[in-house]
Each structure stands twice: as C-alpha cells, then as structure tokens.
Structure 1
Amino acid sequence: MATRTSTLIEKDTTMPPDPISLQPANPEQHFVALAGQINTQETEPSTPETLADWYNKQVEEAIRFTVAVTPLGQVVGFNGIYRSYTNLERNYGIYVIVGEEFRQCGIGSWLYDHLFNQASEMNALTLRARVRDTCEQGIRFATRRGFEIKKQSIEMRFDLSAWDDRRYEPTLQVLRAQGFHFTNMAELGDTPEARRKLYSLNNNAAATDPGSDGVSPWASFEEFERDVCQSYWYHPDAQIVAIDTHTGEWAAMSAITVFEGSDHAYNLFTGTDVRYRGRKLALAVKSLALRRAREFGVAAVRTSHNSENEAMIAIDTKLGYVRTPGTYVMVKEVRKIIGCRACALNPTLYL
C-alpha cells in the first residue's frame, strides 16, 4: 500500500511569525489544502476524499493532524502522527509539511516541536520518517533532530507502451506445467476464505522479504480487510495470485492499482512464500499484473522496493523498470532521561 511522508523545515527557530496559530485539523475544512501539500512531496497523489478515507480508518489508532493557519484560515503547513505498524505498540510515523512560500521562518520547527510533545503524551517509542533522497534540506533537518537513515526505498517506473508481454509466456507455460495455477481474487469470488489466504500470503511474504524489519504489516485479518479489501483502490481482478495445485498453497501474488488522480498504475506489492522462492513465480505474477495495468488505460507503472531487496529490484530491471529518485527511511529513538520526557519516535519527513 503504497507508504505516507512528511516535511521538515531546516531553519532552527523556536517561534513562527505572527499571527499564525495551530489547531486540530478538520477534514471537511482543511483536507483540500493538506492533500495539496502532500502532493508536493509524494509520487502517488492524494485527494481530499482519499486522504479522509485513510484518516478515518486510523481514528481508532489515535491518529492526530494539526494545521498551522493564518487568521484568514489559510493552511500554511501541518503535522500528523499515526501508527507506523498497527501490530507494534507505540511506534509512529509522522508528517511535517510546510508550504514552500512559508519555509525558512520557523513554522516547520514549531510544528515538529508540537508533534514531539504529542508523541510524548502518547508514550511513543519510535518515530519513523520518510525523506526524499534528493532533499538535502530535509535530510539535514532530520539529522539535526536525532534521526538516522535506516533504509532506502528504491522507486522505479515502467513504460507500458514499449512492453511486449509475449516474452514471458514461456515462463508462464513452464510454471503451469509444474502445477501452478494463475488466477486473481475476482475469479476466486473474492470470498472471505480467499481474502484470508491473501492476507496470510501478504503478511508472511512482507515479513520475510530481504531488508524487512521482520514485522508483519497487519496485526489481524480484520485490519487487513479494513485497510486493503475495503479501500477504494482494491480491485479483486488486479490482485494476481499463483496457487500450487499439488498442495493448494498460495505461492505468490502481485497487486496493482491506479490511485485516484493518478496518470499511472502502481504495483503495490509482489511477494512469494519463502518455500517457493527462486522459481520465477515473482516474475510471472508481475508480468500478469502488468497485463492488467494496460486495462486501466495507463501508459506507465510505478513501484518501490527496499534497497536491500536486490532480487526483486533485479526482476523489475529485467522487466524494463528504470530507477527514479526514492526515499530514505529515517528513525529516531528517544530514551527516557531523568527529568525529561520519555519517547521514541518513527516519523516520515519532507521539506
């Protein structure tokens, strides 16, 4: 699914210019501006409606958005804190984004300090920040506040117009001969049973991918169904799966979609059960996902990978993906010190 980011201002000042004030974000009043500011940093677009959909699903997890506004109600920046992993207590991601024309005057520092106080109140353990790897200002700002680069997300783009999918038919034929059945969630009826198998394959593959934290993305099937299957971008016929007909095991999957307002498709995740890796199943399901992307009527596909997942990067390179600027994952852990707040934060940062 695809991942959220945030922006930090470089200049270290403690007070913003008058008469800007902070107030809790109101989805109906502020999400048009927030979506616009997010879209200055994200590769995948947000609309006020899709932002509200995601926000409302996180309300039970204590998500908080705060806006910096002028007396006339103009939103000049905002911060946000949300659960980074739903099955890891007190680990959070953050947003700190400031409009370009309002930067370098302390608003970013003010928003970050306000967010840090909220994180303390929430007894946060970690803050995780995603910073564009080309944004030197954001990297400096995060580093000065104790964040360290832990990972890099490699982003890639694929030109569908020049792709000949017939090249991969021999691979599919070999795998079918070995007993693998290629299908999708729509053909399987998108039933609760099928969704549970998709959930299990997603969780296990993500937790065992090279470079992963070893943590499953979802704590329960109910969370997976809420966050994935009930999302507007979920297309059952674009959830490609490979099933071992000898055992009935779900061996591999690849999911693709088009986010609202986007001019390209996005390959959300491709994963293979550890028992089936090394058999070209990821290449097979990815090629079928690209075929489905054409039906969306787009000319390009984007995706991203942990930089340590060299095998998946190699597969996409073989398919024809090319690298584009990516993001760093920067993490701050704040230890409890006598007389100070206890906190360890996982933010996502943008300038």
Structure 2
Amino acid sequence: METSPIYLLPQDTLHQIFSGLPLRQIMVCRSVCKLFHQILTSSCFIDLIATRPPLPLLALRPPHHHHHRHQHLHLSSPQGIRVFDPDQDQWLRFTLDFLPFRSPHPVASSLGLVYLWADSPNSPEPNKSLVVCNPLTRQFRVLPQLGSAWSRHGSVLVDSANRVMVLTELAALYFSGTNQWLKFSSNLPSKPRSPILVSDSVYALCDVGSPWRSQWKLFSCTIANLKNSHTWTRLERHEWGDVFDILKRPRLVRGSGNRILMIGGLKSSFSLNASCSTILILRLDLDTLEWDEAGRMPLEMFKCFQESSKFKVFGGGQRVCFSAKRVGKLAMWDRCSTNVGK
C-alpha cells in the first residue's frame, strides 16, 4: 500500500484534488485509510472547505448516562454523533475525538454547528461547559463558563454562531459573540417547553393549567424586551379557538421562513386521559397569526408510536423527525419530498 503512486503526490496537490469533491464524498473518504484521514482533517484542507454552505443534516442526540456506574462506559466509548442526510437518504457518522472534553452531550444545532454540554478535562468534579463545534471542519469554541445548574435545568436555543440563549423559568442567559453572558429575568408562568428563537424573538409553550389538568399557551418576547425585564406576551386570538386543547404534549419546532410548527398527539376527545388518533403538525404564520395544518402522521406509521406515552421531535424547516422508546425507527415528515412521511 505504501508504494502506491498517491503517496508520491505533494500534499498541496492532494488538497486540490479532494477539495473538488462534494462535502458528502469528503466525509466518506476520511474513513478510507489513515492517509486520507490525515489529509482531509489537516488545518490546510479545512481552510479550503470552511466557506462551503452546511449540509441539511439531522443530528441524533446520543443516550445521556446520568448514573455514575455508567460513566466509565460512556467515557471509554468512541465519541461521535450520528446524522441523517435526508437528501441522500443515508446515515453518516462524525467523530468528536477532536474535542478535549469528557462526556460531550449534544443539545442543539444550527447552520452546520453542534452545541454540546461537556465536562472540563482538567476538573475532578463535573464542571459543564457549553461548546460549539463544526464536526466537518473539526473546529470548536468554548463559550464563557456557566454554572452546572444551567446545564441541568436550562434549554439551549440557537440560530447562528453568535446568538445563543439558555432559558429557564426564572432567568435567561444571552450570548451574542462577546466574551460574557448577559443575564436577565425571564419570569415565565411555568417551565418553558421547547422554546425556540425566531428572528429577534423567543417563543415558548407554558402550562397555565391546574396540577391535575394541563393547559398550554404560547408566549413570546423579543430579545430587546427580555433584556429590559419586560413581561412575556401571551399570543392568542379568538379565531384560534381550541387549537392548544386538541394536542397532547405539544412542542414547538422552528418552521421555514417566519413560521413556527406546533406538534403533538391529536386527542380523540377532550376528556382528561384521552387517547391520540395520530400525530398532528400545525403551522403558525407569525406575520398573519393564522394557523393551518401542515401535516399529520399516516395511521399505519402512527401504530409504531401509539404505545409510547412520550415521543421526541427534532429537526425544523421543511423536515421534522420523530422517535420514541422501544420503537427502534425514526419517522420523518418531509415537506420537500413528494412522500409526506418516510
């Protein structure tokens, strides 16, 4: 193998050859041999491809081991993240071995960047840092240090490399590229569910019901008002009717353009423990404040999720994925495809 003519080519020549490949082929070539991996992960080659637009990949969050007895298994296993390429209908795997941290746990992604909570390698005690990395270019940045309570109770919201928010019921931290977090009161009526950043505003679902019956409402606040400790606005219209009452365990996902998606199980009735007939995707146009139905899961597909009391939703834009325990499969709503579900 070492006598192959490719070993005689100058490194600059190899960089130019591989830089002409699509990003997907570059990722595949990294796993061919040690030479290709060394060439395609070098800083010189990374600089050549760093300006390319990100791929529309959907990342899977790996299992999070909370118990100490599982920690050695998590640390000794190869660090990596699995992503699905919906355009090619195939799975890819990025290694995270370039991160000098223990127990990296992805929590958000945007524009080709992945945000992770990770333990400092030099600290004997768990000391979480929020890290942003590009798995393709293998570059990373550590955001200013936060207390461990934020990693346990805060929801991480992102929409670009310089706009990050960690939101809880009582407080919010905002990072916009400076060397420090801005902290201000959030004063939400309850713990926010699936908050999202859209343009210059934050949207979240909050439960304003009683201990025995949930009642979800949509709240919003601009970043400027949040900095000034202004109260959140409850978004509601008489024309919306019972839009929040027909869904079980609703959650928000950012849609395409100036739209948000609300996803949940479609209740078969308004009784307290009503079963669900399918999973429904509703879409809110933030310009007109009008809801419409974006899609619903086919009944044959929903049978796989029917026995799971909880399911996870991730993605955004024109594609949303669904997963649940004991299902063993992913379902995807794909607005870009002629097939509504996969």
* TM-score bucket of the superposed structures, by smaller chain: under 0.3
User: TM-score w.r.t. structure 1 length?
Assistant: 0.27
Structure (1 or 2) with the greater helix fraction = 1
Higher relative contact order (CA 8 A, sep 6+): 1
The structure whose Rg is larger is 2
User: TM-score w.r.t. structure 2 length?
Assistant: 0.27
Structure (1 or 2) with the greater strand fraction = 2
